[in-house]
Structure 1
Amino acid sequence: MLEKRDFYINGVWVSPATAHDCAVIDPSTEDQCAVISLGAQADTDAAVAAARAAFDGWSQTSKADRAALLTKLLEIYTTRGEEMAQAISLEMGAPIEMARAQQVGAGSWHLQGFLKAFESFEFERDYTASEKTLLEPVGVCALITPWNWPMNQIVLKVVPALATGCTMVLKPSEVAPLSAHLFAEFMHEAGFPAGVFNLVNGDGAGVGSQLSAHPDVDMVSFTGSTRAGIAISKAAADTLKRVSLELGGKGANIIFEDAHPDAVKAGATRCFGNTGQSCNAPTRMLVHKSRYDDAVAMAAETANATAVRPASDAGRHMGPLVSQAQYDKVQALIEVGITEGRLVAGGLGRPDGLERGFFVKPTVIADVTNDMTIAREEVFGPVLSIIPFDTEEEAIAIANDTPYGLTNYIQTQDDATRRRVARRLRSGMVATNGQGFALGSPFGGYKQSGNGREGGTFGLEEFLEVKAVSGWAIE
């Protein structure tokens, strides 16, 4: 069993102020695979103090020096990618090949995107002939990251904070902390100055709340549930610190009458990816009535053909959910969905042959209406709801009728329809006809999906203050 109790504070690994062991569970076996310690107020204070002490020096380093360290970090990350894949697969159940290609790949991809954006980013801009606008680091940042895409979210927060001259304390999810511990090793190996990056493990009620309310923290960047995002915002309000949130989603995937024949299969497959544990998953499939019956059959066929196996198995398949709590939540919502709609694939319990592990069946529920619980709550599991629609106006109304607004999807071969509908969907991202987003595209949502943007230039700007200086030039 791995023992990872220490925290990374001020450039060294230190023991917790008070021992508070927390088990890390392998979701494929339900066995304990590691132990960490949860931090106390003294650990949080020490990490924040280290970041505060390092800020003046780090914020004044040159752009070239920061870029060189980030380039070194990318080299180490790439070289040690297999270690990272193994850690992620073990801690949160991503199938090992998916962990290598997508989970680890997301981190290196975003790091490359930030380096590209950083090359041309101007921190000093002429406003008039004699006035300068300066973009300066916001200060000490608390970075609170989730378990579902560990490196995706850690890189999306740590790297732009570093690039802009901020110092930080990272609190990864206590459910999946092994990858963050490894990332801290990468940071140390790259040679970042002591105190610039600090890591303290803890839960939301402990270290998460302590960081959110800490008077010496200038900004909180959080990815996770909308419920937790609201709590963090309230805790941060007393000190008026900046809060950037990337929260939940309930994406609509609109299948128009002229959509590509494979659109339904691709949408269902995307929904089941990462065992449905993605905030931008297309979990509501809106299908034109002329294609509805065929779509239901195709979605059910896709679910039934989706293999479910342990994370360590080779090949393409779906792994387990991350934890017992997540398994119980998803099972409860499937049960509600069965009573509300028509179950056409999957359902309650584990797939046949899997007696241990947090495995669930890829599930499809048809004849859903948008007022049903299964259409409104974020399941965060491989559960697809299918909703029929008649007209474009009805599809837009259904898609927008949600408290969330992260990612919506459009499937149509008519360019005018695709662009017209994209403009009217109330979400931070709209993916059309299966096209992915470019390197550095802004990731974030509307409404209860959050209020920040991550990635590329937009991600750098999140960590900057704007200062106007008059009389810069002598006239």
Structure 2
Amino acid sequence: MRKQIRKYELSGREPLTHAGFIDGAFVAGNGGAFDVLDPSDESHVAQVIGLSPDQVESAIAAARRAFDSGAWSGLTMQERGAAMMRFADSMAARADRLKELAVREAGCPVSSTVMGAQVASPLRMAREIVDLFLRLPEVEDNPLPLHERVNAHFAVQSVTRWSPIGVVTAISAYNVPFYTALWKVVPALMAGNTVILRPNPLTPLSSLVFAEAAEEAGLPKGVFNLVIEQGVDGAQALTSDPRVDMVSFTGSSTVGVEVAKQAATTLKRLVLELGGKSAQIYLPDSVDRAAMAAMSVCTSHAGQGCVLGTRVFVPQESKAEVLEAMAKLLSGVKIGPARDPASQLGPVISAGQRARCEHFVAAAVAGGGRVVCGGKRPEGLEKGYFFEPTVLDLPDNTNPAAQEEIFGPVVSVIGYRDLDHAVEMANDSRFGLSGWIHGKDKVKALEVGRKIRSGTVNVNGALMSSHASSGGIKMSGLGRERGVEGLREFQIMTTLNIGG
């Protein structure tokens, strides 16, 4: 019989009774206390007493013991798959809870299309990950030519064997916290690894769902562990401890660099999904579509998405009409609390993130740019971390607003002379996470898309699928998530040669 689903009452006044899940048990934190705030009105969602460094050390030790015991890694893929389907069912039973938390701790508008990425998509993908793994071969023949397989001295068979990597640290982001955590936790577990999840302190509450699911699904002790903390001491231990074999991190490029440095001393496997400054190129035959770029970016969780196309390139001669159309579209956007179904644009995550938006608007103007619309805090919303949907008219791609990730409802529009010029500017970035090409001439659009240097390029369409991987180049990261390539990241590839 399944255990009863826990109900957590988050009054905002009483601390959570636990802030971790270690070695199969929920634990109360012994570390620093911090508040989880609702970015829509700055009210308290919960008070959390985080885990101490000693408790983080206990989580690492538990994960190491659990992996080395073989209680999980020694199971067949089918046996793990059965347990992970129970795990997925337990998470799905908490869909309403996850939606509530996406609104309250992450500030995602309840009516936003991004709500699908917050809850429905990851819940669906949890089961798809299991199915994908069950279809993957654990042993594959290496394509040796016949003269290497058989010679005068012996015959040899060469195969590739896929096996678990060990202890995995999973560090998730604040914008879509459940989604970014799930694409670390579920494939890592399904591969046979043990996991320590460390959520972002701004949005830690949805991570409790993983712990509840691990308990209900009957995962062996220490296979899944959860660490919620106030600062970064635990995260640094999780990325540097020699007992950890792999780190999967989603977050800013700045922090990603530090994670890579910490992991370097023990040469851990790294998957880093970092920042982006994605370009959208509108071919001359599709200028009429460009105005919607500002609407889609700004109303997608207040622009808090690393793959969003925040640099919009249009023909120079059409730039004025595009800017005018963008301003007209955004003038009617309803800004308000995430819980209000009428809100199209909710808050950014924190006061610091709102200040970052203000900083880059000012930097854009100082660099020769112009604020077409927005650029400040909206009137009438004294509480909450709101920022107006903003369109910047930039003279060129060297402007600070074109070069740095802002992570807010801010779109930069830049004119190009010809398509070669557009491609040159699109690739003139230290990031390379995603790219967008729009053109009614599909052949020409594809031709342009093939010239973009980015981990993902979307030509007249995009998708978010378990079956297609994504990942960044340059300062946008290392490795892949999703797809077969993303699953294999959590495994060791061994070449096994057998002679006779």
Query: How do 1:6-17 residues align onto structure 2 when only pairs under 5 Å count?
Result: 6-16=19-29
Contact 2:66 2:221 in 1 (8 A): yes
* 1:84 lines up with 2:98 in the alignment: yes
* 1:342 lines up with 2:357 in the alignment: no
* 1:398 lines up with 2:412 in the alignment: no
Q: 1:93 aligns to what? A: 107
Contact 1:267 1:282 in 2 (8 A): no
Deviation at 1:323, TM superposition (A): 1.0
**Alpha carbons of 1:161 and 1:90: their partners in 2 closer, same or farther (altered >3 Å)?**
same
Residue type of the alignment partner of 1:11: G
Q: 2:165 aligns to what? A: 138
* 1:118 lines up with 2:147 in the alignment: no
Which range is displaced more, 326-335 or 71-80?
Answer: 71-80
Aligned residues: 471
Q: Secondary structure at the match of 1:113?
A: helix
Q: Which runs of 4+ in 1 moved over 6 A?
A: none
Contact 1:363 1:384 in 2 (8 A): yes
Cα distance in 2, alignment partners of residues 137 and 287 from structure 1? 47
Aligned match of 2:122 in 98, 104, 107?
107
* 1:297 lines up with 2:324 in the alignment: yes
Cα distance in 1, alignment partners of residues 456 and 339 from structure 2? 33
Aligned match of 1:43 in 55, 76, 82?
55
* 1:63 lines up with 2:63 in the alignment: no
- CA-based RMSD of the aligned residues comes to 1.7
Deviation at 1:100, TM superposition (A): 4.5
Query: How do 1:6-405 residues align onto structure 2 when only pairs under 5 Å count?
Result: 6-16=19-29, 18-55=30-67, 56-98=70-112, 100-127=115-142, 130-203=157-230, 205-259=232-286, 261-266=288-293, 268-340=295-367, 341-349=369-377, 351-405=378-432
Residue type of the alignment partner of 2:125: H
Residue type of the alignment partner of 1:44: V
Cα distance in 2, alignment partners of residues 70 and 288 from structure 1? 50
* 1:414 lines up with 2:429 in the alignment: no
Cα distance in 2, alignment partners of residues 365 and 24 from structure 1? 32
Deviation at 1:231, TM superposition (A): 0.6
Cα distance in 2, alignment partners of residues 259 and 114 from structure 1? 37
Residue type of the alignment partner of 2:110: I
Residue type of the alignment partner of 1:34: A
Residue type of the alignment partner of 2:266: T
Cα distance in 1, alignment partners of residues 165 and 478 from structure 2? 17
Cα distance in 2, alignment partners of residues 155 and 456 from structure 1? 14
Residue type of the alignment partner of 2:470: F
> What is the CA deviation profile of residues 335-375 of structure 1, one whole-angstrom value per residue up to 9, with x for unaligned ones?
222333111110122x2221110011000011341111111
Cα distance in 1, alignment partners of residues 286 and 464 from structure 2? 20
Residue type of the alignment partner of 1:94: C
Q: Which runs of 5+ in 2 are unaligned?
A: 1-10, 145-155
Deviation at 1:438, TM superposition (A): 4.0
Cα distance in 2, alignment partners of residues 20 and 204 from structure 1? 8
Identity percentage of aligned residues: 34
Cα distance in 1, alignment partners of residues 135 and 401 from structure 2? 45
**Alpha carbons of 1:280 and 1:271: their partners in 2 closer, same or farther (altered >3 Å)?**
farther
Residue type of the alignment partner of 1:63: M
> What is the CA deviation profile of residues 241-296 of structure 1, one whole-angstrom value per residue up to 9, with x for unaligned ones?
11210000000000111117334314532344111111111110000124222211
**Alpha carbons of 1:392 and 1:152: their partners in 2 closer, same or farther (altered >3 Å)?**
same
Which range is displaced more, 168-177 or 198-207?
Answer: 198-207
Deviation at 1:441, TM superposition (A): 1.0
Residue type of the alignment partner of 2:19: D
Q: Secondary structure at the match of 1:404?
A: coil
Residue type of the alignment partner of 1:43: Q
TM-score, L = length of structure 1: 0.95
Q: 2:468 aligns to what? A: 441
Contact 2:293 2:312 in 1 (8 A): no
Q: Secondary structure at the match of 2:415?
A: strand
Q: Secondary structure at the match of 1:88?
A: helix
Deviation at 1:303, TM superposition (A): 2.1
Deviation at 1:437, TM superposition (A): 4.4
Deviation at 1:132, TM superposition (A): 2.5
Contact 1:167 1:196 in 2 (8 A): yes
Contact 1:212 1:232 in 2 (8 A): yes
TM-score, L = length of structure 2: 0.90
Deviation at 1:148, TM superposition (A): 0.6
Deviation at 1:431, TM superposition (A): 1.1
Contact 1:337 1:373 in 2 (8 A): yes
Cα distance in 2, alignment partners of residues 155 and 73 from structure 1? 11
Q: Secondary structure at the match of 2:286?
A: coil
Contact 1:150 1:179 in 2 (8 A): yes
Which range is displaced more, 371-380 or 311-320?
Answer: 311-320
Which range is displaced more, 3-12 or 150-159?
Answer: 3-12
> What is the CA deviation profile of residues 430-455 of structure 1, one whole-angstrom value per residue up to 9, with x for unaligned ones?
11213324442112111000011001
Contact 1:409 1:431 in 2 (8 A): yes
Which structure would you say has the larger Rg? Answer: 2
**Alpha carbons of 1:100 and 1:419: their partners in 2 closer, same or farther (altered >3 Å)?**
closer
Cα distance in 2, alignment partners of residues 109 and 468 from structure 1? 34
Cα distance in 2, alignment partners of residues 188 and 291 from structure 1? 58
Q: Secondary structure at the match of 2:331?
A: helix
Cα distance in 2, alignment partners of residues 267 and 356 from structure 1? 25
Deviation at 1:390, TM superposition (A): 1.4
